[in-house]
Amino acid sequence: MLIGVAATLLAMGRTAICRCGHVALWHGEVRSDQNSQQLTDWYSFTHVVHGLIFYAVSRLALKRWPVKACLVVVVALEAAWEIAENTPMVIDRYRATTLALGYTGDSVLNSLFDIGCMIAGFWLASRLPAAVSVMLVLALEVGLALAIRDNLTLNLIALIAPVGAISAWQAGG
């Protein structure tokens, strides 16, 4: 599945690695041309949150399915999101409504690591008590909001129904 995602993204014109020519494990500057280009960045934590949430939803919706089968389903969902996220329509929407004003899409390597982060979140949720998973989601969301004024919740609000006050706060106002 990951090979299929990589091939699809490359066929869509995504770069394999950062246009800067080097690969870094972490890039911590949100407003930069290397955001979503390196292996991990602040938004990698949102993919961990995806995994934590996907585990809970898949276990509720697919109760009789083995955990490994649920993992295949959620990896397919995350892979589909990574492809959709890198379409011109979604990239333009991000630029218009989110903190990612100069967003140009993910590198293929970043997309694959985003899927890996989701898998890590799913794995954590499969090992942790539900209450700890909920606390982890809350901690990651609050931590991201404090660190970069963005998180999965704020990103979804901005994509679906932008709120001026949130956008102003994210811009530092």
Domains of the chain, by residue range, sit at 1-8+33-172
H or E stretch including 82? helix 67-85
User: What is the predicted pLDDT for the residue at 173?
Assistant: 60
How many Å apart are CA 157 and CA 166, to the nearest integer?
9
Q: Are 43 and 36 in contact (CB under 8 A)?
A: yes
Query: Which tens digits make up the pLDDT trace of 40-91?
Result: 999 999 999 999 999 999 999 999 999 999 999 999 999 999 999 999 999 9
User: What is the predicted pLDDT for the residue at 72?
Assistant: 98
Q: Are 121 and 46 in contact (CB under 8 A)?
A: no
User: What is the predicted pLDDT for the residue at 84?
Assistant: 98
pLDDT of 94 strictly over 90: no
The pLDDT confidence band at residue 125, using thresholds 50, 70 and 90, is: very high
Q: Are 106 and 16 in contact (CB under 8 A)?
A: no
Hey, what are 135's tokens?
């606390």
- Taking residues 95-109, what's their average pLDDT? 85
- Please, what is the average pLDDT of the chain? 95
Q: Are 26 and 46 in contact (CB under 8 A)?
A: no
First to last CA, the chain: 42
Question: In percent, how much of the chain has pLDDT > 90?
Answer: 87
Q: Cα-Cα-Cα-Cα dihedral of 67, 71, 77, 83, to 10°?
A: 180
Query: Which tens digits make up the pLDDT trace of 7-38?
Result: 999 999 999 999 999 999 999 999 888 999 99
pTM above 0.85, yes or no: yes
